[in-house]
A and B are shown apart, each in its own frame.
Chain A
């Protein structure tokens, strides 16, 4: 059974039109991550939530925002997508307790196309 679920799997949006990607998890993990992955590149961390605390990577463009209304769900909002934002967007979760960190589990990703 899928533990990290991303919707939709494929998203086509127009240049400049806001788009929202969603992620849900059944693992009750306290950390949720959003990564951007372009072709033949490693995943690049955009931001993460540690419980309700939001942490932005220094080089994440302002165009990208995120919301985590509860433990299970997390959203990635792209306010004005540009052609350079076309990529696979990956959601992942892990559990951090004290100094202990579990492995991270990924969803299947949402492939975003900007036209």
Chain B
């Protein structure tokens, strides 16, 4: 079993819809959770960073962390064709001395006009 599970998609939604992405994990030591957006042939771009459980909102993006269920989510409101990309979740733990990131496989999102 992988430490971080993420559905690879593709996830296709019409423009204006809410995109819902999620990851599950098995390591209870994870405390830092990140979502990255990666366009084809580009490096990952940090979208959201959260520590421990709770919600965080930034513009059209909302990140949720439920540590009791070992489940994290990213919601994108009012989706645009420019949101079409691969979304990667990543996480690391306090017990690591240097914060090694564990990535999900990434979910490909396609927003159709």
B contact patch SS = loop
> Are A90 and B44 interface neighbours, CB within 8 A?
yes
With known contacts A40-B8, A41-B105, A106–B94 Cβ distance under 8 A: no
Contact digits for A5-49, partner B, Cβ 8 Å, 1 yes 0 no: 010000000000000000000000001010000001111010010
Report the minimum CB–CB distance from B43 to chain A (whole Å). 4
With known contacts A45-B101, A50-B98, A55-B98, A104–B88 Cβ distance under 8 A: no
Q: Report the tally of A-B residue pairs with Cβ distances under 8 A.
A: 65
Q: Which residues of A contact B104 (CB under 8 A)?
A: 42
Counting chain B CB atoms within 10 Å of each CB, which of A48, A90, A106 scores highest? A106
A contact patch SS = strand
Report the minimum CB–CB distance from A97 to chain B (whole Å). 10
> Are A108 and B97 interface neighbours, CB within 8 A?
no
Asked whether any CB of chain A lies closer than 8 Å to the CB of B60, the reply is: no
Contact surface of B with A, Cβ cutoff 8 Å: 8, 31-32, 34, 36, 41-46, 49, 88, 90, 92, 94, 96-101, 103-106
Contact surface of A with B, Cβ cutoff 8 Å: 4, 6, 31, 33, 40-43, 45, 48, 50, 55, 88, 90, 92, 94, 96, 99, 101-109, 111
